[in-house]
Amino acid sequence: MPKYRICPSILNADLLNLDREISRIAQESDLLHLDIMDNIFVPNKTFDLSESQRIIASSPIPVDVHLMIADPDDSAAVYALAGATSVTFHLEASTDVGSTVESIKSAGARVGLAIKPGTPFSAIEEYLPLLDMVLVMTVEPGFGGQSFMAEMMPKVRQVRSAIDQLPLPTPWLQVDGGVTLETILKAAEAGADTFVAGSAVFRSPEPAAMIIEMKNLLNRATLI
Ligand code: DX5
Ligand code: ZN
């Protein structure tokens, strides 16, 4: 397993040519990040269930589903059953984190728990031992192309230090929002190991080359 993972988000890809867009980045990417929004939990709507099922079934690489929906407790497992490798839901939207974690796991996927910028580390702390991934949002969820919130880095550090006290295998620590060549090292230095990048990748003339550049940056930084 690589030390760092890059997960391109297709939210801002050319959705009319999605298969082609995915094939352009598949070889360099660790996971394909699929943002599901319901226009309730966030003020935006994306892929419905049948579109999501089609994308998951046809993706040449493992799919990392990020649910920004108001009722994850009822529907999270559906994405796992559709074949997603990882399903992440928001703490703020869940009324029963423990049973949603269990339903995702029993449906065969890795489970992630996400927190919005306003949610403190303390809200997620008790769940860490149950998780395969923690997602610390570095923008308000809802849209691609926003600026990275460097003020989230103390929270990333808190999660990292708690994760490092858990028995192996420890959860991955993902950041999502505003990740670019300029910001990725800030997140890595704070302890993130899994990076979602949407517009930085798909708005680049050479999306695959952008992913390689991000990985090179991360790998060079760890040598210092
Ligand atoms: C935002 C989504 C992100 C988004 C990231 O709510 O969860 O995954 O696609 O896009 P960028 O990298 O452009 O901030
Ligand atoms: Zn996302």
Strands (E) located in 59-190: 63-68, 86-90, 110-115, 133-137, 172-176
Residue 131: helix, strand or coil by DSSP? coil
Pocket test for ligand 1, best of 6, 7, 10, 12 (most atoms within 8 A of CB): 12
CA-CA distance, 34 to 72, in Å (whole number)?
A: 15
Residue 83: helix, strand or coil by DSSP? coil
Mind listing the pLDDT tens digit for each residue in 44-57?
999 999 999 999 99
- In the residue annotation, 38 being an active-site residue is answered as no
Ligand 1 centroid–CA 17 distance in Å is 19
pLDDT bin (cut points 50, 70, 90) of residue 17 is very high
Ligand 2 centroid–CA 45 distance in Å is 13
Mind listing the pLDDT tens digit for each residue in 145-165?
999 999 999 999 999 999 999
pLDDT bin (cut points 50, 70, 90) of residue 224 is very low
Mind listing the pLDDT tens digit for each residue in 18-27?
999 999 999 9
- In the residue annotation, 35 being an active-site residue is answered as yes
- What mean pLDDT, rounded, does the chain reach? 96
Pocket test for ligand 1, best of 6, 7, 10, 11 (most atoms within 8 A of CB): 11
| Structure confidence at residue 1 (pLDDT) | 46
Tell me the domain boundaries of the chain: 5-223
Q: Tell me which of 3.20.20.70, 3.40.309.10, 2.160.10.10, 3.60.21.10 is the CATH number of domain 5-223.
A: 3.20.20.70
pLDDT bin (cut points 50, 70, 90) of residue 2 is low
Ligand 2 centroid–CA 196 distance in Å is 7
| Structure confidence at residue 221 (pLDDT) | 87
| Structure confidence at residue 153 (pLDDT) | 98
CA 22 to chain centre: 16
Mind listing the pLDDT tens digit for each residue in 63-116?
999 999 999 999 999 999 999 999 999 999 999 999 999 999 999 999 999 999
Cβ–Cβ < 8 Å for 152, 191: no
- Residues in the ligand 1 pocket, defined by CB under 6 Å: 9, 11-12, 33, 35, 66, 139, 141-146, 176-179, 196-200
